[in-house]
Amino acid sequence: MNTAQAILLQKKLHEIPEASGCEVRTKQTLIDYLKSESDLEIIDCGKWFYAAHREGAGLPGIALRADMDAVTGADGRPYHGCGHDGHSSVMAALAASIRGQTLGRNLFFLFQHAEETGAGAAECCSIFDREKIGAIYGFHNCPDFPEGAVLLLHDTFACASRGAMLRFEGSQTHAAYPENGRNPVFPMAAFFSRWQALTDPSLYGGMVLATPVCVTAGSRSFGVAAGSGEIDLTLRAWHDGDLKRLAALVRITAQQLAMQAGIGFSYEEQDVFPATVNDPALYETVERAAALAGLRCITPGEPFRWSEDFGCYGARCPAFFCGIGAGEDAPGLHTPDYRWSEAVTDAALRLFSALIRI
């Protein structure tokens, strides 16, 4: 295994973070590394690429996916606060480690852009039209769990989520004559009074969560009553069907309240992530690989609340996503103090090295 190479590559990628959809230097750095250290065929697909290890047209094909974009910090600049530099360096080093080897299968190392916005995986699904892939695997580093432990979940691994923007359009007026306008604040306030009903657990098959992330109305102009407003929410659920139902209830409720107040209403979504659901037949394969690699397996008590666009791949072929513990006291993902754990590099390389040989 190329653990030392993976660590050096991760440090190099860490210095050139790029926002989703802008991974130009990151992509080229990975391609240059693979051209230098591996004998794989590089297939450049624009914003993303994959490297192919081919042994024969009739052999089974397995894909291993790594994401390569960075998150945006409070200062508006990208930084590797989620560990995608580590994910990519692990898969690149694994690709280099099989140079000249015969594994009895075809392997495809997929380096994906724009995971943070949920846009990348859908665009990368064209790999399934080009190659015969029977299974795809991926992983994420996970703070709050013992370093190097493999985290396995049946069914949902990470939540489905989407951003919902509720826009209320009334009409402004002089603040001394509020009766002459249509102020959106009142239907907006009424919407929040329905919160418990919208997220009532009896309506859903699993956990659902609605989180206000931004609420605006009018401006700080004390002579003018507000004429427009917006509520932005992040909606989450363990199951895709539950998220669809929650989003419909949110939209219909807000629309009805706006109509009752004579206020215009529009609804828009962005950053849409399907649930990352593990194929049951692949669970045993990953568990066996962990045992062969001498790694401890842990089953978290529930799916992770964050989302992963890896869920898109499960609609095209059997898919399995696991976690690698980054340390019980490690700073959380997307926090200013986040750091990559080299123990994750070692464990992930051991796990996937065993997996591709089963």
Show which of 213, 243, 273 is a domain's final residue.
273
Q: How confident is the model at residue 300, as a pLDDT?
A: 97
Q: Same structural domain for residues 90 and 238?
A: no
Phi and psi, residue 169, nearest 5°: -120, 105
Q: Which residues make Cβ contacts (< 8 Å) with residue 51, sequence separation at least 6? A: 34, 38, 40, 41, 42, 43, 95, 108, 109, 111
Show which of 273, 296, 325 is a domain's final residue.
273
Which amino acid is present at 316? R
Q: How confident is the model at residue 246, as a pLDDT?
A: 98
Q: Same structural domain for residues 279 and 330?
A: yes
DSSP class per residue in 242-301 = HHHHHHHHHHHHHHHHHHHTT-EEEEEEEEEE--EE--HHHHHHHHHHHHHTT--EE--S
Beta strands at 208-217 and 106-112: parallel, antiparallel or unpaired = unpaired
Percentage of the chain surpassing pLDDT 70? 100
With contact defined as beta carbons under 8 Å apart, do 240 and 274 qualify?
A: yes
Is the pLDDT score of 339 beyond 90? yes
User: Angle CA(83)–CA(139)–CA(125) in degrees, nearest 5?
Assistant: 100
With contact defined as beta carbons under 8 Å apart, do 64 and 107 qualify?
A: yes
Is the pLDDT score of 52 beyond 80? yes
Q: Which tens digits make up the pLDDT trace of 247-276?
A: 999 999 999 999 999 999 999 999 999 999
Burial class (CB in 10 A: 0-12, 13-18, 19+), 201: exposed
Count of the separate structural domains present in the chain? 2
Average pLDDT for 72-83: 96
Mean pLDDT of the chain: 97
User: Angle CA(118)–CA(70)–CA(119) in degrees, nearest 5?
Assistant: 15
Is the pLDDT score of 14 beyond 90? yes
Q: Same structural domain for residues 146 and 285?
A: yes
Q: How confident is the model at residue 195, as a pLDDT?
A: 93
Range of the domain at 254: 160-273
Given pLDDT bands bounded at 50, 70 and 90, which one contains residue 2? confident
Q: How confident is the model at residue 188, as a pLDDT?
A: 98
Q: What is the CATH number of the domain that holds 280?
A: 3.40.630.10
Q: Which residue has the higher pLDDT, 187 or 58?
A: 187
Which amino acid is present at 61? G
Q: Same structural domain for residues 117 and 11?
A: yes
Q: What is the CATH number of the domain that holds 247?
A: 3.30.70.360
| d(C-alpha 72, C-alpha 57), whole Å | 42
Q: Same structural domain for residues 201 and 264?
A: yes
Q: Same structural domain for residues 84 and 149?
A: yes
Q: Same structural domain for residues 98 and 121?
A: yes
Beta strands at 297-298 and 150-151: parallel, antiparallel or unpaired = parallel
Question: Residues 310, 12, 151, 67: what is their CA dihedral angle, to the nearest 10 degrees?
Answer: 0
Beta strands at 228-237 and 208-217: parallel, antiparallel or unpaired = antiparallel
What number of CA atoms fall less than 13 Å from residue 274's CA on the CB side? Answer: 13
Q: How confident is the model at residue 22, as a pLDDT?
A: 98
Distance of CA 341 to the CA centre of its chain: 19
Q: Same structural domain for residues 10 and 130?
A: yes
Q: How confident is the model at residue 1, as a pLDDT?
A: 61
Q: Same structural domain for residues 106 and 139?
A: yes
| d(C-alpha 210, C-alpha 160), whole Å | 12
Q: Same structural domain for residues 77 and 142?
A: yes
Average pLDDT for 212-236: 97
Element (H, E) at 163: strand 160-169
Show which of 242, 273, 304 is a domain's final residue.
273
| d(C-alpha 266, C-alpha 269), whole Å | 11
State the DSSP code for 40: P
Report the residue count for the chain: 358
**Helix, strand, or coil here: 180?**
helix
Q: Same structural domain for residues 80 and 165?
A: no
Q: Same structural domain for residues 205 and 104?
A: no
Residue 287's nearest CA partner among 153, 134, 190, 92 is 153
